[in-house]
């Protein structure tokens, strides 16, 4: 099944995102002579900004400079599934690559929506049936291998090369009953493994979870019981893309004689895509928020967006009051059918406490009854290592600690394994993974309408202003290079008054004026020198008065002789 | 045991911090005629800022304006234990209250250190023996009730009033073997409960933890085993104030034939305070970092600060390289003998991944073997409800969801219970808690050397600058109220160029100049009107060019006729 080996080509693997972090997945595979390998790109994902490190940023994407430099070598792009950390960068980054984009049907539907929203050509999105269907791309032959995950039609990739077969698992779990989409099929995995697998590139997210993963089907009975016992309105949240869970929740609502409302644009769009692409076939009828308003509360179940505490999603809006005319009351039940992603605890906690103040009963995932993970746990990973029996293992989709633990697991099973982080290029053609290059990688930020580099200093300046506040000082210099009039200052993000009640801007202006009076002609004739003096004086005053060292912007204005 | 009731006085409870949040504890108890109750203040704690909501802030404290207004009614301040969320505000807020501060010996030692650091009079710190010793303060008689927690000499309070006895648990657990400090003593609790308890004010932190709490003594054997099996250097972190844990860790190191090093100033100071106050009596000898450098790695154990991922603590510094000449290597073991507090996951994860890159084996709390909580779990709370058998229950030390759940637990046991959040004044003199007032409360920020109000707008401006960046525009107006020369702009926290590569400041200056040319004399003569025009134009340009709406500072300078 492996393609004929025509030369001593390299079989390269290069993660540009997702290896050494969870999020922003982007992997490159290639085969050919060193430096001339023909390439495919697997996933163009995003990760999300936060106030701590990326204030004001809208989205974070992998830096694809290396792909642009080698764009002529790229055969195609593959998207394994429609989670944002795999597909979220597609519409933003595609114009710089301009290649065909292969997806399975549901993912293609989402991809087209995203491309369309950004005014891109949707005809580049190509649907591909799943394995054994494969597409020939230069020396590579690539097929989608259906895997269960927490979104329909998630896929691994089978990549046949002259150096042997590579299996890239994508995000997956081994779920024989995933409610929607392809169940775990041992025959498929055996068929993929049968001709021998050169390298396994494998999801590492849950390598620290010691027990076997639970099936999506196990949450149904629990949720059904919970909803059927509820006395008033029931609201449930989960990831909008977890359509199986939406189905389970909606079915539980219907079973309890409730009308179901989907609140939140993302959720309705996902169901729409599911129906259009044929993965959703028996979703119960839903009613509008408007219809629900007039119904007895105990006859309604809301399924809403915002499981991660996102401020603008339906959950957060309900926690602050009304959303589309609906509001919660004492005795209602709110279910988080979801896990809180690390970093989101504070936002989720804020919502839970707001509901608590309303008297709403909140049920979260602490019991493990109402949510299961979409990723394979440690014993499942070990099972996959056995099933695929690869010559070598490269863990991906994990922080460094996950990759390291997963590589250990492989080594313990006698499989040569490598920790490969973003920017490390491996050759997988030999007996074990071999590092052959290091590529400059990093992060690009979508910031409003612009893409900015992570190291441009823009975000660094924002963080400094947030921590230190800012002083703005204006200086006027006349035609004769003399200071004209007094300096004037403004502050932002700083207290008005300092020690003993002194007005901070007055103190700054006085100190700057004294300094400028003493300044030599040479300094006054040089904008940068003046700025240096003013900055130093202004910061010193702030340090003395308020105990902070703010950022300083100096505007030097020179009058020109008329 | 209750004091003679001399009038129809109120027995008030008023939380100013810590009720509806975890952190920043500050509670007021009082007895007397309405509005003239004599008061005690229990704890003056802090909570910690974050980039999300309080960038640049150093510490967050309760707003004690109500206490200042009623300072003549305050008899004394009590500090239940030396955790920062109970004692951290003392040195900052004390000057505004100026009352005696009662503590047990260890807490008094820490309190004196804090007061001294800020140049305060340490003689106001009064040591008080524990119950049955009590101090008379007007109509109140108050005593410290020793309780196990995760710091030595933690205490509840027994407050006798003419309306009966109040028991305030402070932070506690029911630990019969806490290694250091007072074990759980059922006889003590029974003695306190014997005369009948009017109201129980009770820790709610772990009300959602379904199993009984584990003793501090259970972690010793596990840690000892882990350390004895380690082959190279061992490093462990925990809260500096958890002296029992420090002892357990140090003993485990010694048992494995290792020399122990304490790294981090907070840790050494805590041990010092423990020895001085007599709670630490057999801490093993420690060596200096310098001595450890020359020893075989397998003979050394470091105990370090920074269990919450704090950037400047020893753990974080070791994860970035050297700390005091010591560094970690492949095969070393790093133990988090601590729980990660919600909100700190990212910082802790960063350290774990950095160690993973070094090849250091990190053991965290996921196994529950190497850490136990310092708070009473649900069954322990139920036990305390029975033991104390109060007429009423008021849960404290919890977010709203914890208070609500704890109040439910009380009601289920037949005890009238109230959810009382910061600023709500209860009268506890009757048969059930009764709301009698709402007091203006909030948060005060220590920001550099200044105290600022949470609603002053200072921090709001910082957040806006962090999210939106800033444009500064200078305008010069001559003696005749005419615009003189061109406007000039600077940006900070924004990309230099807009769509099609236009230079952002040039575009802003051009647009501002055009707008000013068109501006009427009336506008030009009015600083605020000019600022309004300039702000609008500058933001519009930014919106068009970079898709963001920045903050704008306009400096208008008017030339005065010589």
Biggest alpha carbon–alpha carbon distance for chain B: 88
Other C-beta atoms closer than 10 Å to the C-beta of B329 total: 11
Chain-centroid distance of CA A369 in Å reads 26
In chain B, the N- to C-terminal Cα span, in Å, equals 83
Q: Which residues of A touch B546 (CB under 8 A)?
A: 447-450
Q: What is the mean pLDDT of residues A178-203?
A: 97
Query: At residue A6, does pLDDT exceed 70?
Result: no
Q: Which residue among A20, A403, A450 sits closest to B547, beta carbon to beta carbon?
A: A450
Query: Do the Cβ atoms of A561 and A479 come closer than 8 Å?
Result: yes
Q: Tell me which DSSP letter residue B47 carries.
A: B
Query: At residue B4, does pLDDT exceed 70?
Result: no
Percentage helix, strand, coil for chain A under 3-state DSSP, each rounded to 5:
35, 25, 40
Distances (CA, A) of B194 to A130, A228, B31: 74, 46, 22
Residues 6+ apart with CB under 8 A from A173: A147, A148, A149, A184, A213, A373, A374, A375, A376, A377, A380
Q: Which residues of A touch B557 (CB under 8 A)?
A: 474, 476, 485, 488, 557
For the ranges A290-294, A389-393, A556-560, the lowest mean pLDDT is seen at A556-560
Q: What is the mean pLDDT of residues B482-503?
A: 92
Residue A253 and residue A223: Cα distance in Å, rounded? 9
- Disruptive mutation site among A462, A498, A531 for chain B (greatest number of B CBs within 10 Å): A462
A508 in helix, strand or coil?
helix
Q: What is the dihedral of CA B172, B174, B177, B178, to 10 degrees?
A: -10
Residue A330 and residue B199: Cα distance in Å, rounded? 26
Helices A378-388 + A186-193 axis angle, to 10: 50
Residue A446 and residue A452: Cα distance in Å, rounded? 6
Q: What is the pLDDT of residue B20?
A: 96
The DSSP line for A114-128 is HHHHTT--GGGEEE-
Rg (CA), chain B: 29
A505 in helix, strand or coil?
helix
pLDDT digit string, tens, across residues A330-383: 999 999 999 999 889 989 999 999 999 999 999 998 888 999 999 999 999 999
Q: What is the mean pLDDT of residues A519-525?
A: 90
Residue B305 and residue B315: Cα distance in Å, rounded? 6
Q: Which two tokens stand for residue B464?
A: 């806006």
Residue B363 and residue B350: Cα distance in Å, rounded? 14
Rounded to 5°, the CA angle A204-A207-A210 comes to: 160
Nearest residue in A to B357, CA atom? A400
Summary mean pLDDT of chain B: 95
Residue B159 and residue B146: Cα distance in Å, rounded? 14
Q: Which residues of A touch B551 (CB under 8 A)?
A: 492
Rg (CA), chain A: 29
Q: What is the pLDDT of residue B119?
A: 96
- Which among B215, B242, B208, B216 is positioned nearest to B377, based on CA atoms? B208
Q: Do B495 and A400 touch (CB under 8 A)?
A: no
Compute the nearest-CA separation of B375 from chain A (Å): 18
Q: Do B352 and A401 touch (CB under 8 A)?
A: yes
Instruction: Walk me through the domains of chain B, giving residue ranges and CATH numbers.
Output: 10-211+373-453 (3.60.15.10), 216-363 (3.40.50.10710), 469-558 (3.10.20.580)
Buried b (16+ CB within 10 A) or exposed e, B111-123: bbbbbeeeebeee
Query: Do the Cβ atoms of A103 and A125 come closer than 8 Å?
Result: yes
- Which among A30, A21, A26 is positioned nearest to A42, based on CA atoms? A26
Nearest residue in B to A467, CA atom? B56
> Could you tell me what percent of chain B has a pLDDT over 70?
98
Q: Do B494 and A458 touch (CB under 8 A)?
A: yes
Q: What is the pLDDT of residue A1?
A: 45
Nearest residue in B to A560, CA atom? B485
- Disruptive mutation site among B555, B556, B561 for chain A (greatest number of A CBs within 10 Å): B555
Q: Do B548 and A447 touch (CB under 8 A)?
A: yes
Q: What is the pLDDT of residue B179?
A: 95
pLDDT digit string, tens, across residues B220-275: 999 999 999 999 999 999 999 999 999 999 999 999 999 999 999 999 999 999 99
Q: Which residues of B touch A404 (CB under 8 A)?
A: 356, 359
Q: Considering Cα of A433, then A434, then A439, then A442, what sign does the dihedral take? A: positive
Asked if residue B377 has a cis previous peptide bond (ω within 30° of 0), the answer is: no
Residue A354 and residue B22: Cα distance in Å, rounded? 15
Residues 6+ apart with CB under 8 A from B444: B60, B61, B62, B63, B64, B451, B452, B453, B454
pLDDT digit string, tens, across residues A123-177: 999 999 999 999 999 999 999 999 999 999 999 999 999 999 999 999 999 999 9
Query: At residue A2, does pLDDT exceed 70?
Result: no
Q: Which two tokens stand for residue A50?
A: 């936060």
pLDDT digit string, tens, across residues B119-152: 999 999 999 999 999 999 999 999 999 999 999 9
- Which among B343, B289, B345, B344 is positioned nearest to B318, based on CA atoms? B289
Q: What is the pLDDT of residue B8?
A: 78
Residue A56 and residue B495: Cα distance in Å, rounded? 12
Q: Which residue among B401, B452, B493 sits closest to A458, beta carbon to beta carbon?
A: B493
pLDDT digit string, tens, across residues B369-417: 999 999 999 999 999 999 999 999 999 999 999 999 999 999 999 999 9
Query: At residue B433, does pLDDT exceed 90?
Result: yes
pLDDT digit string, tens, across residues A334-346: 999 999 998 899 8
Q: What is the pLDDT of residue B1?
A: 45
Q: Which residues of B touch A207 (CB under 8 A)?
A: none
């Amino acid at each position: 099944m492996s393609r004929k080996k025509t030369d001593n080509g390299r079989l390269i693997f290069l993660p540009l995102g997702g290896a050494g972090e969870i999020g922003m997945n982007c992997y490159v595979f290639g085969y050919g002579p060193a430096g001339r390998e023909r390439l495919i790109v697997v996933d163009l994902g995003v990760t999300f900004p936060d106030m701590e490190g990326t204030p004001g940023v809208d989205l974070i994407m992998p830096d694809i400079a290396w792909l642009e430099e080698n764009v002529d070598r790229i055969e195609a792009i593959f998207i394994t599934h429609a989670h944002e950390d795999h597909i979220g960068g597609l519409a933003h980054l595609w114009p710089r690559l301009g290649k065909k984009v292969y997806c399975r049907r549901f993912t293609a539907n989402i991809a087209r929506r995203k491309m369309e929203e950004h005014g891109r050509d949707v005809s580049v999105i190509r649907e591909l049936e799943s394995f054994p269907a494969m597409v020939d791309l230069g020396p590579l032959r690539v097929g989608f291998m259906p895997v269960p995950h927490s979104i329909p039609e998630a896929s691994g990739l089978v990549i046949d090369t002259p150096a042997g077969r590579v299996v890239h698992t994508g995000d997956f779990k081994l779920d024989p009953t995933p409610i929607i989409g392809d169940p775990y099929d041992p025959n498929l995995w055996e068929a993929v493994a049968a001709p021998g697998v050169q390298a396994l590139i494998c999801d590492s997210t849950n390598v620290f979870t010691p027990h076997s993963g639970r099936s999506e089907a196990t949450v149904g009975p629990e949720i059904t019981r919970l909803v059927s016992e509820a006395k008033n309105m029931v609201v449930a949240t989960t990831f909008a893309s977890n359509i199986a869970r939406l189905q389970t929740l909606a079915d539980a609502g219907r079973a309890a004689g409730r009308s179901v409302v989907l609140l939140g644009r993302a959720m309705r769009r996902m169901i729409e895509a599911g129906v259009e692409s044929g993965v959703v076939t028996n979703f119960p009828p839903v009613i509008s928020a408007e219809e629900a308003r007039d119904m007895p509360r105990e006859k309604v179940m809301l399924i809403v967006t915002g499981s991660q505490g996102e401020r603008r999603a339906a959950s957060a809006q309900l926690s602050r009051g009304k959303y589309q005319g609906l509001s919660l009351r004492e005795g209602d039940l709110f279910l988080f059918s979801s896990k809180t992603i690390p970093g989101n605890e504070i936002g989720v906690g804020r919502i839970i406490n707001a509901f608590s103040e309303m008297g709403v009963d909140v049920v979260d995932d602490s019991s493990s009854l109402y949510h299961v993970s979409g990723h394979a746990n440690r014993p499942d990973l070990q099972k996959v290592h056995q099933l695929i029996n690869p010559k070598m293992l490269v863990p991906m989709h994990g922080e460094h600690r996950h990759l390291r633990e997963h590589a250990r697991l492989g080594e313990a099973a006698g499989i040569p394994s490598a920790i490969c982080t973003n920017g490390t290029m491996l050759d997988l053609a030999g007996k074990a993974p071999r590092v052959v290059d290091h590529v400059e990688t990093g992060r690009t930020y979508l910031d409003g309408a612009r893409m900015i580099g992570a190291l441009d200093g823009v975000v660094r300046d924002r963080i400094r202003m947030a921590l230190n506040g800012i002083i703005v000082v204006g200086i006027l210099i006349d035609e004769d290079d003399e200071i004209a009039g007094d300096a004037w200052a403004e502050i932002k993000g700083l207290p008005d008054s300092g020690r003993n009640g002194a007005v901070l801007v007055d103190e700054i202006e006085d100190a700057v004026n004294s300094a400028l009076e003493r300044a030599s002609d040479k300094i006054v004739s040089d904008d940068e020198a003046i700025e240096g003096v003013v900055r130093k004086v202004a910061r010193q005053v702030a340090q003395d008065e308020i105990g902070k060292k703010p950022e300083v912007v100096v505007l030097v204005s020179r009058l020109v002789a008329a």
